Structure 1
C-alpha cells in the first residue's frame, strides 16, 4: 500500500483537527485557536493548543506536537494505517489499494505537478508576445497592475490546436491529456483545450498550479472555460486564490467569498487580499469546511443580480447542517446588478467596506428569503412560512444551535404577526422595537429596563404576577382615571382575576368602557354604584398601599394615565405568557422527545421572565416616586 504525500495532504485538509480532538478532550475557544489541558501529561491549567488553520496541535508544557494522524497514533495508540483508515472514513476518502500500480500512480501525480508548472510558465511567456496584445489590453482595462499580473500568474493561450501540445511534447500526449491540457476525442488526434484565451492558474494551498481557468477575449462561448477534474483537481473542493488568501485571512480575521476570478483580483487591487471564489459551481460543503479553517464567519459577497442572490440562497441552505457554535456564514448584499468590481469602480474601497461591514447573519438571510418567497396575507400562507422556517432549523445538526434558530425564527414570526395592533385599536402588550413608558422592548432581548435598582417589593410583584394587590391598584387607578379605559378595555378584559368581587368590578368597568358618561370625572363611580359595587370600590381606594403615581391625588394626570396603561399592559403580558408556558410544558411532558415543544417551552420561559422583569421595573419606578 502506497500513500502519496498528495493523498495525505488531502486527508489532512479534509480533517478538522478541533473536531477530531474534541471527541475526547474538552476544548475551549481561544481566539482563532482552541485550548485545553494537555491529554499527553497531567496539568491543572491549559497549555495545549489546537490550530485548525495550520492543522496541528502543540503543548507548551510537554512539547507534544503533531497533526491529525499523529494525534490518533500517540494519544489513542492506533497503528499508523488504522489511524489513516479512520480519518479517511470520516473524510469520505478511499485508502489507495495495495497493488503494483500504486507506485506508478504516485510517480504520475508528481509528473502532473511538473506538467502543470510547465504549462503555467509557458502561458505566462505567451502573454508577452505580440499575439497577446488584446489580452494585455483587457487586463489594463480591468485595472490589473503588472504586480498583480505576476502575483496571480496571468498568461495567454494562443489560438491554435497544437501550440501547447508542441511546446510540452517532452511530457508525452497521455500525460498532457490526464492533466486536462489536451482534449482526447475518439478517432481524432488530441488537441489543445485552451485556445485564444486569457489564462488564470488555479493553485493548491501550497501554491502549485493544478488547473486553469481560461477567459475568452471577444465573442464566443463559454465565457470561462475551466480545466476538467483530474487526479490533481477537484473543483468542488477547491477555492480560487486559497494559497494567497489563507495568510491574508489570518491577518484580517475574515475571508470574503466572491463569485469569480476577476472579482478576487478586484478585491486584491483594493487591498483586500483575503478574497476567494468557487470555480463555476455552487459553494459546496467541502469548500465551506476550507473556509471555516480560514475564518469562523466567512462573508459571502455574491453579485447583486438574480443569479448571484440565488447562489447566496443555495449556500445559506447548504450551510445549515454544518454550522456550529461560533461557526456560521454572513451575507453581504451588493447593489442590484453590481459585482464587487463595479462597486469598487464607482465608490472605492470605502463603499465595499460598508457593504462587508453590514453583512447580515445566516439566520437573517434565511428569514428574509422565506418572507419574500410568497404573499403572507392568509393564515395558510403564514402557516407555510412557519413550517418552512421550522424545516430549515431542523436540518441543523448541532442541538444548541438548532434550538437557538428555532427560538430566533419564532421571535421574528411573533414580532411580524402576533404583536401587531388589533383591529379595534387596542394592543396586546408591548409592540417589539417600540419604546415603552419605562424602557424598550427589543426582539430577542425582551424588555430592556432603566437602571433603577429593583426593591424586594418590586421583585416579588414581578415574580407573583397577577396578585390581588396589583389588580386592586389597577382597578383603583381606573376609578381615578376612567379615560384610560378607552385604550385598554380589551387588555383589562383579558386580565385573569380570581377574587369574585374584583372580577365583578372589572367586568362592570369593561361593560362601561364605551359609555361616554363613564369616561367623565365621577361617571364610572356612579355606574359602579348603580350596579351595586359602591362598597367594594370604596374599599379599593382606602386599602391599596402601592406607590403608583395613578393612586396619588397630587400626581400629574398625564403621567398617571401613562403609568396606568403601562402597568395594565405589563400585567396582561405576563399572564398570557404564563398561560402559554403552562400549555407548552404540558405538551412537552406528554411527549418528551418533541424537540419543537421543548424549544417552545424555553422561548416562552424566557419571554415570561422578561415580562416579569418589566412589571418589577415598573413597580420600582413607582416606588422611587415616593422617595
Structure 2
C-alpha cells in the first residue's frame, strides 16, 4: 500500500456492514451453530471444549477461555497475523469492494515518518553498543560478564551491548549531523542540560534493547557497572517508548511460543537473560518493581498463568504484595497468579546460578497460589485470638476479594476466609459486613462513588456497547440538559457513545469497536464490550430507565444538599427557593418511578 494514503473510518464502517463475521471465520476454522450463536474450539489457545463464540447479530467474536475478542478486523489481525491495513485490504477483497484511499494529512504523515526514523536510529545504536561490548577492554565489563556467566549465544540472542563512559560518543558516531542529533534527543538517547550541552543518557552501562511485539527496538535499559546508583535506568518516555506498556523479553518468548502455558515476571534484565540461559525461557521483566495494569493485561492475553518472582529484599517483597493487589481485577476463573518468595539477599539471577535449572524448576512448580499468599499476608496483620481482630480480617480481606471478576475464584476465597475464622460459609456475611462497615467503593475511574459502589454508568455503557439498539429507549433522557451536564466520571463516555449510536442506524458491537479504535476511550469500550454486567436481557430496558433516573437523582440530591446548607447559614433568596422547590418536586417524581420499578 502507498504510505501516502489512508482509509477513512466511514469506509471501514461500511465495509463491516458488508462483512458477515460468521462466514469469514467459518472459512478458516470449523464452527457449529449453538442457539443464536456459533461456537468453535478457540484458534488462539489450546482447549478440549469449545469456548469460542461468534455472535452474528453483534458481528463480534469472544472466547470465554482466553478472553480474546473483537470484530472481523481483529480476527484477521490475530488469526492471519496481518496488520490493520492488511486486514482492511483482505476484507475489501472478500467483499469485492474497492478501497477509496485518502491522502494523509501532513501531521499524520510526519509522525509516521518520524517514528520510522527513530526505529532506524535505535537499530543503528544497538549495533554500535554491541560492537562496543565485543571490543571492550574494560575490566569492569569483563568482570560483570564473568560473574553473570553469560555465554556468547545468550548475549547475541538478546543483543546485549555496552555504553562507554564517554558522554558524547553517540554524537561523534553520527558525525555531529544536525538531523541525527535531533533524532537522538527525540529517541531519548541524548539529553540537553541547562547549559544547552548534549550528553548521553546512558553512560558506562551494560545495554539491553527493549523490543516491541514485532521486534523493533523502542528503547533501552542500562545496568550500571561497579554497583553505581541507580542500578538500572530506562529510556525516557518517547513517541515509541512507553514503559508501562513494555515487557522485556516478551518478544523473545513469543518468537518461540505465542501462547506459553506460564510466564514468570521478574525485576531485572539480567534475571531474564540468566533464566533464559538456564532453559527457563518464559521469563519477562517489568522494567522495575512496579507492574502496570497495561502489563498485566498484556500478560493475561498471552498466558493463563503468571508467576511473580521478585528479589528477596524488602523492596521486592513490597512489590510482590503490590503486584497481587494490581492483578486482582484481572483474575478470571481461567487466569491465575502464583508467587515465589526468594530467600533474603537473593534474586532470580543469583539463585539459579547457585542451585541450577532442575531445582529452580521445582521452586516454580511449588510456587505459592494467590489464595495462600493473600491470607498468609493478611493474617500477619491481625491477632487471631481476639474477636475484634477476626472482624478486622473480614474488613480488609473482603474488599480485596471483591475486586476479582472470576465468580468461582471469588467464592472459593470467601469460603477460605470463613474457614480460617472457623465459621460455616454464609453468603449473607458479606452484606452484614457492608452494613456494619459502610464504605465508598470505586471499582474504577468511571464508577459513581455512592455507598454501595453501585457503578451505574459502567453498566449503562456496557449495555449500550453490547446492544446498541437500546439507544431508542434513551434518546429522550439524553435530551435533558441536566443529564448532559452531570459531572460524574464516565458520563462523557456515555454521551459520546450515544452520539455514535444515534448517528449510525443499525450499528452493531463490531462496528462500534472499530469506530473507537485509536480513540482515547477505546480501552474502556473494548473492555466493556465483553464485561459481564449481569443484567438479564428482559430486564435491560427497565434498568436503563431506572439507571438514568438514579443518576439524575444523584446529581439533584447534591444540588439539594448545597441549597439546604446555604439556607441554614445565609438563607435563600426567592430565585434559590424556587430552584429548591423544583428540585424537591422532581426528586419526588423520580422516587415514585424508582419505587414502581423495584
Partner Cα separation in structure 2 for residue 584 and residue 240 of structure 1: 43
- Corresponding position: 1:220 with 2:228: yes
Q: 1:351 to 1:180 in 2, by over 3 A?
A: same
Instruction: Give secondary structure in 1 for the equivalent of 2:141.
Output: helix
- Corresponding position: 1:164 with 2:176: no
Q: CA deviation at 1:29?
A: 6.3
Q: CA deviation at 1:400?
A: 4.8
Aligned with residue 32 of structure 1, among 46, 49, 57: 46
Aligned to 1:202: 210
Q: 1:250 to 1:357 in 2, by over 3 A?
A: farther
Instruction: Give secondary structure in 1 for the equivalent of 2:208.
Output: strand
Partner Cα separation in structure 1 for residue 360 and residue 231 of structure 2: 26
Q: Which has the higher contact order (CA 8 A, sep 6+)?
A: 2
Q: How does 1:227-376 map to 2 (within 5 A)?
A: 227-248=235-256, 250=258, 253-376=261-384
Instruction: Give secondary structure in 1 for the equivalent of 2:223.
Output: strand
Partner Cα separation in structure 1 for residue 127 and residue 69 of structure 2: 30
Partner Cα separation in structure 2 for residue 48 and residue 367 of structure 1: 28
Aligned to 1:389: 397
Q: Deviations over 1:268-306 (max 9, x none)?
A: 111111111111241111111111122101111112222
Q: 1:223 to 1:326 in 2, by over 3 A?
A: same
Q: CA deviation at 1:189?
A: 1.8
Aligned with residue 151 of structure 2, among 145, 154, 160: 145
Cα RMSD (Å): 4.5
Name the TM-score, length of structure 1 as normaliser. Answer: 0.54
Aligned to 2:478: none
Q: CA deviation at 1:374?
A: 3.5
Q: How does 1:213-612 map to 2 (within 5 A)?
A: 213-248=221-256, 250=258, 253-414=261-422, 418=423
Q: 1:24 to 1:237 in 2, by over 3 A?
A: farther
Check conservation: 1:181, 1:194, Cα contact below 8 A: yes
Aligned to 1:127: 133
Q: CA deviation at 1:317?
A: 0.6
Partner Cα separation in structure 2 for residue 291 and residue 251 of structure 1: 10
Check conservation: 1:248, 1:274, Cα contact below 8 A: no
Q: CA deviation at 1:398?
A: 4.5
Q: 1:74 to 1:375 in 2, by over 3 A?
A: farther
Instruction: Give secondary structure in 1 for the equivalent of 2:305.
Output: coil
Check conservation: 1:334, 1:355, Cα contact below 8 A: no
Q: Deviations over 1:314-335 (max 9, x none)?
A: 0101111121121121112223
Partner Cα separation in structure 2 for residue 582 and residue 196 of structure 1: 59
Count of residues paired in the alignment = 389
Q: Gaps spanning 5+ residues in structure 2: where?
A: 8-24, 26-35, 98-103, 436-450, 454-598
Q: CA deviation at 1:143?
A: 0.5
Partner Cα separation in structure 2 for residue 369 and residue 339 of structure 1: 21
Q: 1:393 to 1:24 in 2, by over 3 A?
A: farther
Q: CA deviation at 1:587?
A: 8.3
Aligned to 2:192: 184
Partner Cα separation in structure 2 for residue 125 and residue 3 of structure 1: 39
Partner Cα separation in structure 2 for residue 40 and residue 67 of structure 1: 24
Check conservation: 2:37, 2:54, Cα contact below 8 A: no
Check conservation: 1:57, 1:65, Cα contact below 8 A: no
Q: Deviations over 1:385-439 (max 9, x none)?
A: 121111111222444543343233223332xxx5xxxxxxxxxxxxxxxxxxxxx
Aligned to 2:112: 106
Q: CA deviation at 1:194?
A: 1.3
Which of the two has higher C-alpha Rg?
1
Q: CA deviation at 1:351?
A: 1.6
Q: CA deviation at 1:261?
A: 0.8
Q: CA deviation at 1:175?
A: 1.1
Q: CA deviation at 1:38?
A: 5.1
Name the TM-score, length of structure 2 as normaliser. Answer: 0.57
Q: CA deviation at 1:103?
A: 0.9
Q: CA deviation at 1:128?
A: 2.4
Q: 1:2 to 1:380 in 2, by over 3 A?
A: farther
Q: Gaps spanning 5+ residues in structure 1: where?
A: 6-20, 81-97, 419-576, 596-627
Instruction: Give secondary structure in 2 for the equivalent of 1:298.
Output: strand
